[in-house]
Amino acid sequence: MEELKNKKLLLVDDERDLREMVDGFLRKEGFTRIYQAATCAEALELTRSIRPEMIILDIMLPDGDGFSLLSALRQHTSVPVLFLSARGEDADRLLGLGLGADDYLAKPFLPRELVLRLTAILRRVYTPPQQEKRPVFQLGSRLVDLESGVVRREGLHREHGGKQEQEHKHEQKYEHEQPLTAKELVLLAKFYENRNRIVTNDALCQAAWNDDYYGYENTLMVHIRRIREKIEDTPSDPQHLLTVRGLGYKLLVKEEG
């Protein structure tokens, strides 16, 4: 949030008292880089020189209007714009939004509402979307790591003295690793999303090739076989990725807890 409050804001309004009022309560909210313009010409000049990251824009200006100014700005910048205007009619609001404004707030307004709307725009524009982490799950002796795109198999750990070999599952020791292809990743992600449920052939082909099953029968079977070679102890007798005759496949995953 502190990073958002460090963005450069440009207030464009011909009423000096209103600019000072908005400037004041924005600074109380933690915004520090605030610039002001009273005309379209000043706004265009400041946009070129300081490159603001957010503009709060009035419609009625002495040397033009906010709609024309926004159209001019959009020729060289996609900076987010919030209209703040005494003209609260629906036609003006729709025109402003249609020209590319991010929001429209009519005067008189509550200072807190302006801050909330301003913050929402900054967050939407400047906060990168959270990348959802891909799952990592266990299938028997295999650990399927969709995040890294590999399947790891538990290895045999030889104890000191070479007297005994045994699996140390509690140590999560994996000595063998096989990479997954892009299509295998897509298919396994689809299976995991629908784990312990039937996934139809059509659904799998839509996920992998954006098409239905017809024409991809053999291709899908080849990919399923290769996936089984990586996740099954005995691919010819699968215990995790099962065929459901006439429908599709089902991935059996033991739910933890």
Pick the CATH number of 136-251 from 1.20.120.790, 3.10.560.10, 1.10.10.10, 3.40.640.10: 1.10.10.10
Task: Determine contact, residues 104/113, Cβ cutoff 8 Å.
Answer: no
Q: What sign results for the dihedral spanned by CA atoms 93, 94, 95, 97? A: positive
By C-alpha distance, which of 21, 25, 73 is closest to 52?
A: 73
DSSP string, 152-194: EEE-PEEPGGG--EE--GGGT-EEEEEEPPHHHHHHHHHHHHT
By C-alpha distance, which of 236, 30, 68, 230 is closest to 150?
A: 230
Task: Determine contact, residues 147/134, Cβ cutoff 8 Å.
Answer: yes
Pick the CATH number of 2-126 from 3.40.1280.10, 3.30.1330.10, 3.40.50.2300, 2.40.50.60: 3.40.50.2300
Lowest mean pLDDT, pick from 84-98, 117-131, 145-159, 160-174: 160-174
- For the chain, domain boundaries: 2-126, 136-251
Note the pLDDT of residue 87: 75
Among residues of the chain, what percentage have pLDDT more than 70? 88
The answer, yes or no, to whether residue 171 has pLDDT greater than 60, is no
Task: Determine contact, residues 99/66, Cβ cutoff 8 Å.
Answer: no
Structure tokens belonging to residue 34 = 């605030």
Note the pLDDT of residue 89: 75
Please name the amino acid found at residue 108.
Answer: P
* pLDDT tens track for 219-243: 899 999 999 999 999 999 999 999 9
In this structure, the strands spanning 60-61 and 81-85 are unpaired
Whether the pTM exceeds 0.85: the reply is no
Please name the amino acid found at residue 113.
Answer: E
By C-alpha distance, which of 182, 180, 236 is closest to 207?
A: 182
